[in-house]
């Protein structure tokens, strides 16, 4: 690996984000782990990182990316990423899972999500137990929903037996079809093939029912509509082991962003009407949404410089994830410690990795964050393999100015 922590690292003068609030206290890292959240263990020859009053936060655990772009992830403060199985070839065999599990180390850990079905066809189950042994940290249906309820029930039962989370794409493909937009005024005006907003709620309702039957842990990677969020909220109240995620596009933007047929705003699920966007913000505030992730999906010009309906969905989200989430903190939607619950602690817990919070014994994946640092999102200057972002040209605030992975500083911005 070549990147072992040699000497203890002492981080001083920082405002440390803990699950119980923000505290001014030092952190000591020894042998790649957090040894103490005070100075007690710092003896002898130590490296010191002076945080100079900046926020010290757990590294981001990005749940459900489609590609690994190390420079983009480091820029964005992402220290671990759970990779979706939609690769070429798909992650449906132990050998492929094993290769991915080793791929980013030591300075970025990639946690493979195994394909729920062979070739992601939605038909025959893949071999979860062998893939778990090979390093899979969850099972995912991929870019599509599994249409056959019998297959999905078997997926959930098998995953429950192995205690692996199942990550589902909440969109009924039979209704969504080839749609590229949400049915409504905007889609009508632009003449785009559209799907009713109910395509999401129907998928969510069915998957929740099957999760309840199987006792499995179910995570919806993106829930973007009021109706579906209400279903998740009710299921949680009943004690179903269901969690919901969202990406910043769906709390920052409505379908108005598709106005000039900008394909950077062609996403899956498509952008919604503003009332649904506001419902997402509300759901982040009240705890219905558990995870904010980047959905990182770089698409080059060959995929995006096409008519809107032909363009591939997706956005390069890794670099903007932290800044967009911090905008919610500035708008008093959530506290700073809650923001890192959504970005780090909850995803780490779902994946079963010892990271995501700054507590003794956890992996020393740590960010220094300047919450006020202004910068402008620029497609041209992105470090991702393709800079497709609907936020191009937008001024934002806040970024990671240092990233520590396993007790070793890997980047100083």
Is position 69 within any domain? yes
Which tokens sit at 349? 């817990």
Asked if residue 396 lies in contact with residue 377, where contact means CB atoms within 8 angstroms, the answer is yes
Written as tens digits, the pLDDT of the chain (413 aa) is: 457 888 999 999 999 999 889 999 999 999 999 997 777 766 778 899 999 999 999 999 999 999 999 999 999 999 999 999 999 999 999 999 999 999 988 899 999 999 999 999 999 999 999 999 999 999 999 999 999 999 999 999 999 999 999 999 999 999 998 888 888 888 888 888 888 899 999 999 999 999 999 999 999 999 999 999 999 999 999 999 999 999 999 999 988 877 766 777 788 888 899 999 999 999 999 999 999 999 998 878 888 888 878 878 888 899 999 999 999 999 999 999 999 999 999 999 999 999 999 999 999 999 999 999 999 998 888 877 777 888 888 999 999 999 999 999 997 76
Helix (H, G, I), strand (E, B) or coil at 341: helix
List the beta bridge partners of residue 56.
Answer: 16, 368
List the beta bridge partners of residue 47.
Answer: 9
Which tokens sit at 31? 């042998």
Residue 292's CATH number: 3.20.20.140
**Within 10 Å of residue 88's Cβ, how many Cβ atoms?**
4
Is position 9 within any domain? no
Is position 34 within any domain? no
Is residue 357 reached through a cis peptide bond, with omega within 30 degrees of 0 on the bond before it? no
CA distance 282 to 210: 26
Q: Burial, 39: exposed, middle or buried (Cβ in 10 Å; 0-12, 13-18, 19+)?
A: middle
Domain count, the chain: 1
Is position 44 within any domain? no
Is residue 106 reached through a cis peptide bond, with omega within 30 degrees of 0 on the bond before it? yes
Which tokens sit at 93? 């065999």
CA distance 263 to 315: 10
Residue 314: the pLDDT is 84
Core vs surface per residue 68-84: b (16+ CB within 10 A) or e: bbbebbbbbbbbbbbbb
Core vs surface per residue 346-369: b (16+ CB within 10 A) or e: bbbbbbebebbbbeeebbbbbbbb
Is position 247 within any domain? yes
Task: With CA atoms as reference, report the closest residue to 219 among 331, 94, 61.
Answer: 61
Is position 365 within any domain? no
Is position 29 within any domain? no
Residue 278: the pLDDT is 97
Pairing between strand 138-140 and 166-168? parallel
CA distance 125 to 207: 17
Which tokens sit at 292? 């904010």
Asked if residue 389 lies in contact with residue 320, where contact means CB atoms within 8 angstroms, the answer is yes
Is position 327 within any domain? yes
Question: Is the model's pTM score more than 0.85?
Answer: yes
Boundaries of domain holding 222: 59-358+383-393
How far from chain centre, in Å, is Cα 320? Answer: 12
Residue 261: the pLDDT is 67
Residue 220: the pLDDT is 98
Q: Burial, 261: exposed, middle or buried (Cβ in 10 Å; 0-12, 13-18, 19+)?
A: middle
List the beta bridge partners of residue 244.
Answer: 220
CA distance 266 to 252: 14
């Amino acid at each position: 690996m070549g990147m072992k922590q040699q000497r203890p690292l002492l981080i001083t003068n920082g405002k440390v984000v803990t699950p119980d609030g923000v505290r001014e206290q030092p952190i000591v890292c020894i042998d790649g782990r957090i040894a103490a959240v005070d100075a007690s263990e710092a003896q002898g020859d130590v490296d010191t990182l002076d945080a100079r009053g900046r926020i010290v936060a757990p590294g981001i655990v990005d749940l459900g990316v489609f590609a690994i772009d190390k420079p983009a992830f480091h820029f964005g403060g992402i220290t671990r990423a759970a990779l979706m199985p939609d690769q070429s070839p798909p992650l449906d065999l132990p050998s492929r899972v094993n290769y991915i599990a080793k791929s980013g180390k030591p300075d970025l850990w990639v946690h493979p999500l195994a394909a729920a079905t062979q070739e992601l066809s939605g038909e025959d189950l893949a071999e979860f137990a062998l893939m778990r042994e090979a390093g899979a940290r969850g099972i995912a249906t991929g870019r599509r929903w599994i249409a056959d309820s019998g297959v999905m029930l078997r997926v959930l039962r098998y995953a429950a037996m192995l205690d692996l989370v199942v990550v589902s794409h909440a969109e009924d493909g039979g209704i969504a079809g080839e749609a590229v937009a949400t049915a409504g005024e905007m889609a009508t005006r632009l003449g785009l093939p559209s799907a009713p907003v109910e395509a999401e709620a129907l998928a969510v309702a069915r998957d929740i029912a099957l999760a309840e039957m199987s006792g499995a842990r179910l995570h919806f990677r993106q829930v973007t509509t009021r109706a579906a969020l209400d279903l998740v909220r009710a299921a949680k109240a009943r004690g179903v082991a269901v969690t919901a995620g969202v990406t910043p596009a769906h709390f920052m933007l409505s379908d108005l962003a598709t106005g000039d047929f900008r394909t950077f705003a062609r996403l899956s699920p498509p952008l919604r009407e503003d009332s649904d966007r506001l419902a997402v913000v509300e759901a982040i505030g009240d705890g219905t949404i558990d995870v904010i992730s980047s959905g990182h999906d770089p698409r080059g010009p060959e995929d995006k410089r096409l008519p809107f309906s032909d363009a591939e969905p997706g956005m390069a989200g890794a670099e903007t994830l932290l800044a967009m989430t911090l905008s919610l903190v500035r708008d008093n939607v959530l506290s700073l410690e809650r923001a890192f619950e959504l970005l780090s602690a909850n995803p780490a817990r779902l994946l079963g990795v010892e990271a995501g919070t700054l507590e003794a014994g956890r992996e020393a994946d740590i960010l220094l964050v300047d919450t006020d640092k202004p910068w402008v999102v620029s497609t041209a200057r992105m470090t991702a393999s393709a800079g497709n972002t609907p936020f191009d040209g937008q001024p934002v605030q806040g970024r990671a100015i240092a990233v520590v992975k396993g007790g070793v500083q890997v980047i100083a911005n």
